[in-house]
Amino acid sequence: MRAAYRTFPGPDGSILYYPLIRVRVGKKRGRTTRFFEAMVDSGAADCMFPESIASAIGINIESGKKDSRNGIGGMQDVWIHPIILYVGEHALHINAAFAKTLPIAGLLGRVGFFEHFKITFDPTSDPPALN
């Protein structure tokens, strides 16, 4: 699978490229989201999603095991829940961290995502892509 980076607007009319892919998440024997864009982030310890995604699949985030995550913006509380992450034809049963807010719809990190695939970032292609 090869996925071109997706663009976001940058300052002063510029265009920024990010490794975003379309995924869905769901609960076993429960609801599944529509496709949304999540960032492939090798710096993230695990997969994180905002409360809005949790609510859509019937998860009350504070019912999960409470934990914390350190990010560039500081530390935040997260709650862990088992979910199914749908990536391409793969259905991955993972434990994901849910936060009250995130600036994007999802982060795909090492545990739960990178451990299942061999991923190569290729910023030399036009547009940049990941394999």
Partner 1 sequence: MKKDPRSEALRNAPLDSWIALSDDETRVVAQGLTYQEVADELDRLGDNSAVILKTPPRWFPLAV
> Contact residues for partner 1 (CB under 8 A)?
6-11, 13-16, 18, 22, 33-37, 39, 41, 44, 50, 52-53, 55-56, 71-72, 102-105, 107
Q: Tell me how far, at minimum, the Cβ of 34 lies from partner 1, in Å.
A: 6
Q: Tell me how far, at minimum, the Cβ of 84 lies from partner 1, in Å.
A: 17
Distance CA 46, CA 49 (A): 10
Bridge partners, 101 (sequence order) = none
Instruction: Pick between residue 8 and residue 115 the one whose CB is nearest to partner 1.
Output: 8
Instruction: Pick between residue 72 and residue 75 the one whose CB is nearest to partner 1.
Output: 72
Distance CA 48, CA 23 (A): 13
Instruction: Pick between residue 70 and residue 124 the one whose CB is nearest to partner 1.
Output: 70
